[in-house]
Each structure stands twice: as C-alpha cells, then as structure tokens.
Amino acid sequence: MKFRLKKPFDGMNFIEGIPILPGMTGNLPGAGACLPKGSPLIRDRSPSFFQNILRNIPGVQDYLVGMLPSPKVDVKALEGRYMWVLDTPSASNRYCPTTEFQVKADIEKSYGLTVQEKFRPNGEDSGEKVGFGYGIIHKDKTYIYIQDDPCPYQIVIMGPRNQRTGQYEYLVLSNWARYPIIGLARDIRHFYKHYKDEMENKLESAGLINDVTGNSNIRYVDWSKCKKATPLSYVQNVLTDLFG
C-alpha cells in the first residue's frame, strides 16, 4: 500500500500512512491491555462483561482508558500498604483484604511496581491467602494487574497526602468499564473520620456513582470482625482448609 496522506486528520494516528486506532501502538497484553486467556495464575475472565467482549480488539481498551480520570501519580506517595474500604459487591467476595505497592524499577520516569494482596476468601475466620500482581506507570498512565482480573485497573482517584509521611491517604482503582470499583485507605478509622464523604463526592464527580445507581454499586468493607493473623492461626486455617 503505497498511498499516504500528506496531511493526516487531527487526532488520528498513522503508521506508514495507514490509519490506526488511537493508542494501538504500545497497547500490548500485560502492558496496558488485558492479559491473554490461559495466562498462568490469572483468572481467565474479567468481572466486567464489557471488558470480556472488547478485550481482544486492538486499541479499543487504550482508547477507552483515555476517557477515565488520569491523575498524575507520585510513586513514592503511592508505596506501602492499604486496607480495602470499599468494593463492588457483585464482583468480590474478599474479607479483610489489603493491598501493598512497592516500586521495583525506575527507568526514565517509567516505573515498575510489585503488588501483594492478602485476603480471606471464605469469611473473616478463614485462612489468609496471598495474591501477587504488578503495576506499570508510563506517561502518566497507571496499569495495575492482579490475579483476580486479566484486565488492568487504573488509579482514578487519589486522596490528599499525609502531612507527616507524604503518602496518599486513600486511592480508588477502577477501569474503563467503571466496574469493579476498589477503594483503598491507609488507616480505617482515619478514613471514616476524615475522608469517607470526600471519596464519595469524588466518585460521583468521576462518574463512578451517580443519581441512578447511588451507592448500590459499592459496598463498604466490614473490618469489625477481622483479627490479626498469627503464625499459629495461619497453620490452623491451612489445616482446616485441607482436612475440614
């Protein structure tokens, strides 16, 4: 195909004169796009019906991600452990869940993160499980991959920084389908006292909740029955899972 447009249309990308979908280049599986089916240790299907339909169309996900809020993330303020404070009830059955981010690579303002999750799958008293994932921050876009979803999450909302530590007080993760929604906070008591209403207002402003859905698509995580895991309780829970 030798014909090339001398003057491309505004907003359209070209490779050798051939128009492509916005963001198609660089939108690779595991680096901005959904992981392919059959990836080891990763659930094959996303909780989002729409992501499962569109995940195999090149460029679509990157284009739709551009419609989400995309705040500039300071990786140093992001690092550390968070407790889940809200999630989407129809997409998650985790109890006492936490997520921890650690920066492992820093190359010309692009960053690689490790993600560690701890949760109890069958109730507050069940055995604690550990899940692993990773994250990529590149050109002000953030992609977070976890084992329960082959498609990445983006950081769509960030709370203020703690005056003493400089770290974010809370975060919200979601995707272009706006399903599921995951809210993370450093400290549960501090969050409910100072930031719960602020987070809800930001969720509404971002179009993640609205007058029609209200709060029906989010659920606040109940930590009242969560007890700190000990080595002994961990062994007991593992034995219970194995032998009943």
pLDDT 10s digits, 14-51: 333 433 344 443 467 888 888 888 888 888 888 888 88
Instruction: Out of 8-17, 39-48, 229-238, pick the least confident.
Output: 8-17
Comparing CA positions, the residue from 179, 127, 128 lying closest to residue 151 is 179
CA dihedral 150, 119, 76, 146 (to 10 degrees): -10
More confident residue, 91 or 145: 145
pLDDT at 185: 98
Taking the CA of residue 76 as centre, how many other CA atoms within 13 Å lie in the half-sphere pointing to its CB?
Answer: 4
pLDDT > 70 fraction of the chain, expressed in percent and rounded:
80
pLDDT at 194: 97
pLDDT 10s digits, 154-193: 999 999 999 999 999 999 999 988 999 999 999 999 999 9
Q: Which two tokens stand for residue 181?
A: 């929604």
For 61-91, b/e burial (b = at least 16 CB within 10 A) is bbbbbeebbeeebebebbeeebbbbbbbeeb
Categorize the per-residue pLDDT at 3 as very low, low, confident or very high, splitting at 50, 70 and 90. very low
pLDDT 10s digits, 184-215: 999 999 999 999 999 999 999 998 887 655 55
Domains parsed from the chain with CATH numbers: 27-205 (2.40.128)
